[in-house]
Chains A and B, each alone.
Chain A
């Protein structure tokens, strides 16, 4: 649709707009915006063909800070707006940005459908388990018992896991990372971008004001090794300081367990090899909760399939070939007409 301009090496900063960033000092969103800018730079993304679409919430301010096209829409509806952008011009690289309230509460329905349709966009969900912009109410991902202005005695409803939800929606690319993990995050964005179809990335993000330290049990430096397991396709699901721990299927049961190599006769051969195309496995990995399990990071599931937008345009091409457009005047004359003289 557009003439491709010659590749210009843009630095991460070249993807930053001139707008002053207005997140709270220390907010995890700063790290994410840097990671995305780095990823775009690494990929040599063309700013003119890049569109960030967001809903409402702290995370949704994201597009204003990018020197690309951007649309800050309304609460929960970013996946729907992005669907229209992508279907109007499939050549565009479309990113959807939102938080846990935006995408799993008010906009849960649209998140479901953008994923199941497999529209070729990247969906980045910044999950901080709290409503930040409205001053700290509990969110659909908050743990039971979360005390907040609207739940002073603690929340009583059980949370949703973003990645389990995405897998249930039939998403074909589901990944997870942590806001400050700048070593991994840009690469993960690139993998999300390179996947054809809807790519879902949950970024665990620390809200320094209303939910500080919510993930520290597995994101603090000292806790990372034991608290996280990195999923890599074809590799054993090992973790721990010395990679001495691992995941395996409990013999005779459809469930995971944490084992230590060398204990109770467990060897490395017993450790489960990650198969990113296995949805039931992905569901189990995505659902693992601390403290009994490490939190799964990386590409938990990837099984690409045809994207909706491509299918729509294939069908248009097919129908056009079958019966090409005739002038509208002729179209209106088709069927039964009569002449009055």
Chain B
């Protein structure tokens, strides 16, 4: 069932539970307000409660680059969308069924996405003449026919919040700040969410400011009580979204940053190495630096470097000395690191680069998601400088990809580019907690044998050079960026040797194709009329869109590529079994070029470069239309 119809159809069916709550299969809610209104916090807390209710969920935080943009402006609007359901879902939802707009600017920006007949909750308190004008409305949208096709609930949330915290000794400013909690309380009532996790969180967060905690809790409870007692329009009812049927296990809500952090830690432990993490703050990668900085007890050394170059160079130095060097950034920062990545390739040291991609080029749209660093990852260095590139599809997948990055980096003595995305870093989803014991250890063995040693002695099978670390008696050696002699590891300007070394570096990376899983089809047949090929965070949207087409009898399959370089060894053959290859990407067509150049297949691009995730309905329409071409 198309997500954007669920809200309206559910109301037509009006199935209710024993307490009279209408049962919904799934719902998409978007909270929108000023960047200072606490919408991200509201969304995060609603997500936490929803996760604990046992729904499957997916979120999409969408916020401006400015920390506190001027109040009331459209460009200062911050939003958080959550899709939760009683069945498995894969995307944050195409369009909201419910829009909470805390001011006119939020309404202006987001109303166009609300499904017809959708519920609109407005904070009347913010709809004064000034704010209405600032949002770009000529006249008040409350008074013309702008809102006619929606179910509108107008509440003076600001006033209600002030009244709720009147008895608490906080300033008016502090009191007003709690209006997001009031709103959250109302939504908790409407969708039957438990408030306790939020209360616990507030008490912890404001442990040293008990009055602030008290005010926020009072606002939360007041919002909930308002729902219970107020006479709301008759078509507004309360809802329940039953638990999703998912695999048994212990779950938690996670973002891609958390899973990346734990994956790197697990990987390092499996390799028997300590992590050295060199990083420079950049949106949206900084949260990984914050997370790893809390893991000192695991021997994790984090280093906030003076710049991106120092971040990667210190990580490489640490790898030279026997740690697992890791660095992270976003596109512009990775660009600065590229010379050092060349050094990592030529010195054949393990290194992991986590790139939380954002919209580029240059500064681009720092807080918006994109997957446009594929060229940069695969090709973006001087010289012939190959390295493995893997890309995560979901927050859960970040965990596995991080472990895999460590395995490949240490086994093949190579830098590994781990492509993450701003969307994955911030978005939350339920995660079935893994057992680290399920991951086979892959312990690193440092070189110790002095007889016949030289730094570029290679493993016959993997072609990886041996890793001799300072502190090892008898293995003193020098490495660097100048070409090495194949047989001795000494500096060599010999032209034939350079040819041979370039070939062996390429061969080593290509050989990884024998050590990764063969490419499988996510859904659909192994050959046929059309295959939709994706990578990264578009996984969920593509899978949902292709499934809908399949359910409609269309011969379309879905292939998701995790290993961007080297590609799975059977991928070429697989692709050649389809008449049409469609490659949706949140860039101007990068994987599509790679596939065309590698396999000489007529792959077509489906580019969306809006800084927003694909909508399932858009993809579905495009698949149908291209099949008819």
Neighbour of A338 across the interface among B52, B301, B340, B482, CB < 8 A: B52
**Cα of A335 to Cα of B477 in the assembled complex, Å:** 47
B80 at the binding interface (Cβ < 8 Å): no
B43 at the binding interface (Cβ < 8 Å): no
Number of contact residues on B: which range applies? 35 or more
B265 at the binding interface (Cβ < 8 Å): yes
B480 at the binding interface (Cβ < 8 Å): yes
Indicate if the CB atoms of A48 and B471 lie closer than 8 Å: yes
Indicate if the CB atoms of B470 and A92 lie closer than 8 Å: yes
Task: List CB contacts (< 8 Å) of B223-279 with chain A.
Answer: 243, 246-253, 262, 265-266, 269, 274, 276, 278
Task: List CB contacts (< 8 Å) of B536-562 with chain A.
Answer: none
Indicate if the CB atoms of B478 and A336 lie closer than 8 Å: no
- Main secondary structure on chain B at its contact with chain A? mixed
Indicate if the CB atoms of A19 and B296 lie closer than 8 Å: no
B315 at the binding interface (Cβ < 8 Å): yes
With both chains docked as a complex, state the minimum distance between the C-beta of A37 and any C-beta of chain B, in angstroms. Answer: 14
Indicate if the CB atoms of A63 and B480 lie closer than 8 Å: yes
- For A333, the chain B residues whose CB sits under 8 A away are 250, 252, 433
**A67 closest partner in B (C-beta):** B476
A254 at the binding interface (Cβ < 8 Å): no
- For B307, the chain A residues whose CB sits under 8 A away are 109
- For B442, the chain A residues whose CB sits under 8 A away are none
Indicate if the CB atoms of A92 and B471 lie closer than 8 Å: yes
Indicate if the CB atoms of A71 and B471 lie closer than 8 Å: no
Indicate if the CB atoms of B433 and A80 lie closer than 8 Å: no
**A53 closest partner in B (C-beta):** B317
Neighbour of A80 across the interface among B250, B317, B436, CB < 8 A: B317
Indicate if the CB atoms of A88 and B250 lie closer than 8 Å: no
How many A-B contacts at CB < 8 Å in the complex? 209
Indicate if the CB atoms of A320 and B478 lie closer than 8 Å: no
Number of contact residues on A: which range applies? 35 or more
Indicate if the CB atoms of A49 and B246 lie closer than 8 Å: no
B216 at the binding interface (Cβ < 8 Å): no
**Cα of A283 to Cα of B493 in the assembled complex, Å:** 44
**B482 closest partner in A (C-beta):** A72
Indicate if the CB atoms of B340 and A92 lie closer than 8 Å: no
**A47 closest partner in B (C-beta):** B476
Binds B, one of A179-187, A231-239, A294-302, A311-319: A311-319
**A112 closest partner in B (C-beta):** B306
**Cα of A109 to Cα of B469 in the assembled complex, Å:** 28
With both chains docked as a complex, state the minimum distance between the C-beta of A331 and any C-beta of chain B, in angstroms. Answer: 7
- For A49, the chain B residues whose CB sits under 8 A away are 470-471
With both chains docked as a complex, state the minimum distance between the C-beta of B454 and any C-beta of chain A, in angstroms. Answer: 12
- For B314, the chain A residues whose CB sits under 8 A away are 80-81, 83-84, 87
B303 at the binding interface (Cβ < 8 Å): yes
Known A72-B478, A77-B340, A84-B314; judge A337-B252 contact (CB<8 A). Answer: yes
Known A87-B303, A339-B250; judge A77-B471 contact (CB<8 A). Answer: no
With both chains docked as a complex, state the minimum distance between the C-beta of A161 and any C-beta of chain B, in angstroms. Answer: 22
Indicate if the CB atoms of B306 and A335 lie closer than 8 Å: no
Task: List CB contacts (< 8 Å) of A76-115 with chain B.
Answer: 77, 79-89, 91-92, 109-110, 112-113
Known: A63-B478, A85-B317, A88-B317. 13 other contacts (CB 8 A): A19-B490, A19-B491, A69-B477, A72-B479, A80-B317, A83-B305, A83-B317, A87-B314, A110-B309, A113-B305, A113-B310, A316-B301, A337-B433
The 4 closest A-B pairs by CB, nearest first: A72-B480, A84-B317, A84-B314, A70-B478
A interface residues (Cβ-Cβ under 8 A, vs B)? 1-2, 5, 17, 19, 47-51, 53-54, 56, 63-64, 66-74, 77, 79-89, 91-92, 109-110, 112-113, 312, 315-316, 319-320, 323-325, 327-329, 331-333, 335-341
